[in-house]
Amino acid sequence: MSGEPDVEGLIGVVVPAGGRSSRFGGDKAAAPFGDGTVLDHLLRRLGRLGVPVRLVGPEVPGGPVPAIAAGLTALPGPDDALVAVVAGDQPFAADALPLLVAALRAAPQQEAAVGVDAGGRDQPLLAVYRRGPLRVALGAAAAGGRVRDVVARLRVERVPVGEASLDVDTPADLRRALHLLAP
């Protein structure tokens, strides 16, 4: 059916959501946003993709690396299957996933397609990964390691994703996101 986002090959989305939110001053994913919260908005948009979404919250201690590993375990599939990772504070991230999936499908030698924000910074928590290489890179990461250290072990396609990369880290970020949400 036309108009549906093309995410062929994507077996699911892992959403790490349980950070400290120290710059925000409270749970940023629970901040009021539209007719729900930042996280609600993201999950609704991800739901339109028609693939499983694994929300991994504060019950997995140690930051996003263990959360991604836990979510990946909950999404079994072949090593060449695609898995997206989207931070729970990125209300518009679902918009970038078809672009990231297409970029990775077009570059079979690459192991990840990582979103790049408008400032040129890689956003490894807005990315699509090949399941097998991601699993290996996560296994090689030190406990408490950073997502950037995991991504450094992979062959990466960098993909500009514009406003879809907006994450709500501060109250100013929330105001900007609300402005983008307004008609």
Residue ranges covered by each domain of the chain? 10-178
Please tell me the distance from the alpha carbon of residue 182 to that of residue 60, in angstroms, as a whole number.
34
Question: Could you identify the residue written with the tokens 């901040």?
Answer: 31
Question: Could you identify the residue written with the tokens 């690459």?
Answer: 110
Instruction: Name the pLDDT band for 46 (thresholds 50, 70, 90).
Output: very high
Instruction: Name the pLDDT band for 59 (thresholds 50, 70, 90).
Output: confident
Distance of CA 169 to the CA centre of its chain: 15
Average of per-residue pLDDT values in the chain: 90
Q: Is the pLDDT of residue 79 over 90?
A: yes
Question: Could you identify the residue written with the tokens 């504070």?
Answer: 89
Q: Which of 88-97, 104-113, 139-148 has the lowest mean pLDDT?
A: 139-148
Please tell me the distance from the alpha carbon of residue 54 to that of residue 151, in angstroms, as a whole number.
20
Task: Put the strands of the sheet holding 82-86 in their side by side order.
Answer: 53-56, 10-16, 82-86, 122-130, 112-116, 156-160
Q: Is the pLDDT of residue 144 over 80?
A: no
Q: Is the pLDDT of residue 163 over 50?
A: yes
Q: Is the pLDDT of residue 14 over 50?
A: yes
- Please give the span between the terminal C-alpha atoms of the chain, in angstroms, as a whole number: 26
Question: Could you identify the residue written with the tokens 């339109």?
Answer: 48
Please tell me the distance from the alpha carbon of residue 48 to that of residue 4, in angstroms, as a whole number.
8
Q: Which residue blocks in the chain are alpha helix, DSSP H?
A: 38-47, 64-73, 97-106, 131-140, 147-151, 171-181
Q: Which residues on adjacent β-strands are paired with residue 12?
A: 83
pTM here is 0.92
User: Which CATH number fits the domain 10-178, given the four candidates 3.90.550.10, 3.40.50.300, 3.40.1160.10, 3.40.50.11540?
Assistant: 3.90.550.10
pLDDT tens digits for 95-140? 999 999 999 999 999 999 999 999 999 999 999 999 999 999 999 8
Instruction: Name the pLDDT band for 182 (thresholds 50, 70, 90).
Output: confident
Please tell me the distance from the alpha carbon of residue 89 to that of residue 165, in angstroms, as a whole number.
10
> Quick one: pLDDT at residue 2?
47
What average pLDDT does range 25-34 have in this prediction?
A: 79
Q: Is the pLDDT of residue 1 over 90?
A: no
